[in-house]
Chain A
Amino acid sequence: KAGVTQTPRYLIKTRGQQVTLSCSPISGHRSVSWYQQTPGQGLQFLFEYFSETQRNKGNFPGRFSGRQFSNSRSEMNVSTLELGDSALYLCASSFADVNTEAFFGQGTRLTVV
């Protein structure tokens, strides 16, 4: 059974640009969550989607957005990139809409220059 797949693995973008990251959850999983990991702030929750609906949202500016498609694949978008957006972005998938374990992908390393 394939794990959580995130693409691309690495990205370099220029300040002011926008970026879209993709996440394919484990087959059968309907919940997808996104996290940002930086050395200074650690792992921070961005948002969670279940059955195409955003159910939870972390404390991030509106430049960070996401969506989930009918096949449970998810994308997150960051507009007007800032240097501080450089981070490892992790996607996690879970089977159910109540608390179950989350399985993480390898992450997308975003560098903003």
Chain B
Amino acid sequence: AQSVTQPDIHITVSEGASLELRCNYSYGATPYLFWYVQSPGQGLQLLLKYFSGDTLVQGIKGFEAEFKRSQSSFNLRKPSVHWSDAAEYFCAASTGGGNKLTFGTGTQLKVEL
């Protein structure tokens, strides 16, 4: 079955430190990949997407993600975290046939000042 895995449920980093959130997918073919962020009680905001081409993609708010086919991974990174980055982050994937997204379980990011 198609699935997306986010191994880390909670991550705590200090403000100014670097961040990497992990995401692995299990699909027959390479899916389209996305990272979303959700603040409490809010909807999901798209950070970045990977469809094809360059394996390092840039997103909003200083985030980037690297697609590694050999590892079936799409990890999210940020060089220097700000307190306002505290939120829940979701990795998602979709394949042909519409916009049906499969989400990971999310990673809750806490930023220590």
Contact = CB atoms under 8 A, between A and B. Distances in A.
Nearest to A100: B99
Interface stretch (A14-22, A60-68, A76-84, A90-98): A90-98
B17 interface: no
Contact of A56 (B32, B46, B90, B100): B100
B46 A102 contact: yes
Contact of B43 (A48, A55, A56, A104): A104
A33 B49 CA distance: 18
Given A42-B106, A43-B90, A90-B44, A102 B98 contact: no
A45 B45 contact: no
Nearest to B92: A43
Interface of A: 4, 6, 31, 33, 35, 42-45, 48, 50, 55-56, 58, 90, 92, 94, 97-107, 109
- Shortest Cβ-Cβ A-B pairs, 4 listed: A43-B103, A104-B43, A104-B44, A56-B100
Interface of B: 32, 34, 36, 41-46, 49, 51, 90, 92, 94-106
Given A6-B43, A56-B98, A90-B44, 18 more contacts: A31-B98, A42-B103, A42-B106, A43-B90, A45-B100, A48-B99, A56-B97, A92-B44, A92-B101, A94-B99, A99-B51, A99-B95, A101-B46, A102-B34, A103-B46, A104-B46, A106-B42, A107-B43
